[in-house]
Structure formats: structure tokens, C-alpha cells
Amino acid sequence: MNTAQRLRLQRRFALRRLGGVSMVAAVTAAFSWPAGLALLALGLGWAWWRAEREFSEVVELAFSGDPLEGCSARARLVLEPLRAQEGGWRRRVEAARRDRERLIAAWDRLPIGVVWLQSDGTIRRLNRRAEELLQLRRRLHAGQPLALFLPEPRWVERIRTAGEEGFTGEVPQRGETLYCRLQWVPLEEGEALLLVEDRTEAMRLERMRRDFVANVSHELRTPLTIVRGYLETALDSPTPPPPPLGGYLEQVHAQAVRMQRLVEDLLTLAQLEGTQPPPAQWLDVAELLETAADQARGVAPDGITVEVSPPPRPREILGVRTELESALGNLALNAVRYTPAPGRVVIGMRDLENGECELFVRDTGIGIAPEHVPRLTERFYRVDRARSRDRGGTGLGLAIVNHVAQRHEARLLIDSVPGQGSEFRLRFPPGRWRARVR
């Protein structure tokens, strides 16, 4: 029986009861109006009492959960759909409870640490892996600011600004130090998730790889220098070698120069990865731009113009001169290599509205397809291997630039359109630059 049929049956019961009382009152009123009114009042009272009694029975059975066999037919009409709806809700509540338990179990079994933060930065919930990595306890630290329990309070802001790349730092433990990668994932209403990943083993393997590359590069430097010296002596001798031998020696010399450049870049990259940056100093931006432009002009072929676009007002940037000159020099040399004549390369600086600043190198070269841009900072990644090798590239220049940017709290941004040119930007936070102090 559906709901509409139940309502019609209830209405029929009520109309029958009211009709019976009215009929008896009418017959009695035909002989005596006072007796009819009294009988009508008595009948209505009796009807109200029956309705109240049935309502009490319905309420009692609804909350008690007792079987419906002993109740009246009218009470059963009300209680049966209520019991059915109650059963549905109970099943839904039970399913939701089981889902919640499964989610909590999955939350605690995640291989990475997760901290749920409220909008004010306090800890709302954390899983077991986060407890292990950050040395926290749910009952003890829930509701307290996360910044109080990180190795440094300023880590919170650094993690926020790191974005999807995350921030890797040292987390002291009992008797050891872990290297943890922390990533900020914003949620609705100002809340966020802090993902904590143990990168200690990966860092150890990376250190081993870096040390191996540095050691091999050091071992190769001396023999390459000797080979190159003998080749240059033979090529520059007063009596040049016979034509076939001279051509062979020139090819060997070109490869020796390329190998020596590769070794130098490997050593530079190993130094950037394995050492702490030297003390930073305030450097004149115009001098950095001119130095990079001079390097580019020294190798630019005819038809390529190299220009400097200085900031409208003198600026200084906080950094290490050798590293920033290396980064800008690499970007400028790449721009010259991949810009056909007639072409133009611009090296400059611009201020941004949010207080940041950018050092940029823009060219009118061949451009880069969008699918290659995310991988340009990988070691030895080349868009066109043959062209890069022919133009003297080692495949490490942008990796060096990216590491210099990270050591200066900057970001390397790349915009490129195939056939129109590229722009490489080093974006620095507000605290890294200022107006030049006279």
C-alpha cells in the first residue's frame, strides 16, 4: 500500500467516525435540542479521546521499536511507513559509519604524512605517518598551531610559497635527521592539507650520485687538459700535419673542447647541489645585465643584436655574483645559439605589481614546443640533440640556471612560442631586491 492509499484510508476512518457521531446527535436533537447538543459534545469528546489514545499508541510504538501485531489497524497505517523509513535511515547511518571507519583506517595507512590544518593554521587532524615524521601526538597537539612544532616557524610561509614543488628540509629525530618534503594543498574556507614525505633515502642516493659525478669529473679534468694541450700544440706547430691527419686532429680537438666544457658544467652543477651558498651581497643589477650581454656579444654571429633593458631606476639584488652571472650568462648564450640571423636578444629587468622582480632574457629565435618546456631543466635534456650538439650545448645549462634560482629563493619561468621566440625569467621575491643605495 502506497502513501496516497494510506492517506485515503485514514480520511475514510475519520469521516466515518465523525458521520456516526453527527447522525446520532441529529436524531437526538429531533426530540430534544439540549440532549442533542450534549450528545454531540459527548461524541466529539469521545472522538478526541480515541484520537489522542491512538496518537499516544503510535508515538509509543514509534520510539519503542516493539512489533506492531497488537496495535490497531489505524495505528498500523501510520507506523508501517514510519518503520520502513526508519529502517532506510538506519541502513544509511550504518553505511555512513562504516565508510567513516574505512576512511579513517585508510587515512592512517597512507604512506605519507597528512596534517589537516584549519584556516588559522592550527592542527585539526593528522595521521599516524605524520605523527612519526613530525614527532606529534593527536590528542596532545590537536588544536595547536603547526608552526610551533616545525624546526623553524618560518617554514609555514616557505611551504605555502613553494606550491606544488614542495619544500624539503631537515627534521630532527631521536638520534638522526630526516629529510622531509612538505607540500601545501589548499582546501575550501582557508583550510589546507600538509603532505609530509620522507625523502631521506632518496637524498642519500642523490648524494651518492652527485659525489660520483663530481669525482669522475675531477678525474677527467686533468687528462682532458693534457690531451687538449697536445692537440693545440700539434695544430699550431710551424709545420702543419699532412691534410688527412690535420683534419683528424681538428675533429679530436673539437671533441676534447666539448668534453672539457661538459666536465666544467658537471663540476659547477655538483658544487651547486652539494654545498651551501656563500654569503649573499647586494649587487648592482645593471652590472649583472651588462656582464651577461658582453658574454653573448662575444659569441653572437653577424646579424644578431644583443641589447640591455635596464630597470627604470637603479636596482640592487641580493645574491652571489658568480652564480647569478653564470645563470644569466647561460640564458644569454642559449638565446644567441638558437636565434637565427637576423635576430634580437634582450637582457633586462622588470618590476612586478606584487613586489617581486624579474631578470629576463628574451629572443626572437626558433622557439620551443609546449610539450618540451616542462623538461627543459632536466640534466642532458635536449629538444633537438643534433642541433644542440652542433651548437656547442652540453645539456646542463638550464639545470645550472634552475639550481641557481633555487639557491636565491627565485623561480625559473619559461614562455615560448615556436617560430616566434622565447623568454626565460628569474623571478625573485620582494626581500631579494631593493632600490640602489647611493
Distance CA 181, CA 170 (A): 9
Q: What phi and psi, each to the nearest 5 degrees, are found at residue 306? A: -115, 120
Average pLDDT in the 15-20 region? 59
Distance CA 127, CA 136 (A): 10
Q: Between these two residues, 35 and 274, which has the higher pLDDT value?
A: 274
Distance CA 294, CA 251 (A): 28
Greatest mean pLDDT among 28-42, 248-262, 352-366: 352-366
The pLDDT of residue 23 is 60
The pLDDT of residue 4 is 47
Distance CA 196, CA 129 (A): 8
What does the pLDDT look like over 49-71, one tens digit per residue? 566 666 565 555 555 555 655 56
Residue type, 122: T
Is the domain 110-198 a CATH 3.40.250.10 member? no
Average pLDDT in the 216-226 region? 83
Q: Which run of H or E residues covers position 214?
A: helix 200-235
Residue type, 205: L
Cα-based distances in Å from 93 to 100, 211, 223, 240, 331: 10, 58, 76, 93, 61
Beta-carbon-side half-sphere exposure of residue 333 (alpha carbons within 13 Å): 20
pLDDT of 7 > 50? The answer is: no
Average pLDDT in the 222-245 region? 83
User: What predicted TM-score, i.e. pTM, was given to this entire model?
Assistant: 0.59
Beta-carbon-side half-sphere exposure of residue 3 (alpha carbons within 13 Å): 4
**Hey, do 110-198 and 281-435 end up sharing a CATH topology, with the first three levels equal?**
no
Q: How many CB atoms lie within 10 A of CB 159?
A: 22
Cell numbers linked to 223: 687528462
Per-residue confidence at 414, pLDDT binned at 50, 70, 90?
very high
In angstroms, how far apart are the furthest CA atoms of the chain? Answer: 154
Per-residue confidence at 393, pLDDT binned at 50, 70, 90?
low
What does the pLDDT look like over 73-130, one tens digit per residue? 666 666 667 667 767 778 888 888 888 888 888 878 888 889 988 888 888 888 888 8
Residue type, 320: V
202-274 fold: Helix Hairpins (1.10.287)
Architecture of domain 281-435: 2-Layer Sandwich (3.30)
What does the pLDDT look like over 276-333, one tens digit per residue? 778 889 999 999 999 999 999 988 888 899 999 988 888 899 999 999 999 999 999 9
What does the pLDDT look like over 165-215, one tens digit per residue? 788 888 888 778 888 888 988 888 888 898 999 888 888 887 887 788 778
pLDDT of 386 > 60? The answer is: no
The pLDDT of residue 83 is 66
Q: Between these two residues, 260 and 46, which has the higher pLDDT value?
A: 260
List of residues 6+ apart from 76 with CB closer than 8 A: 68
Domain ranges of the chain: 3-105, 110-198, 202-274, 281-435
* Mean predicted lDDT score pLDDT of the chain: 80
pLDDT of 425 > 80? The answer is: yes
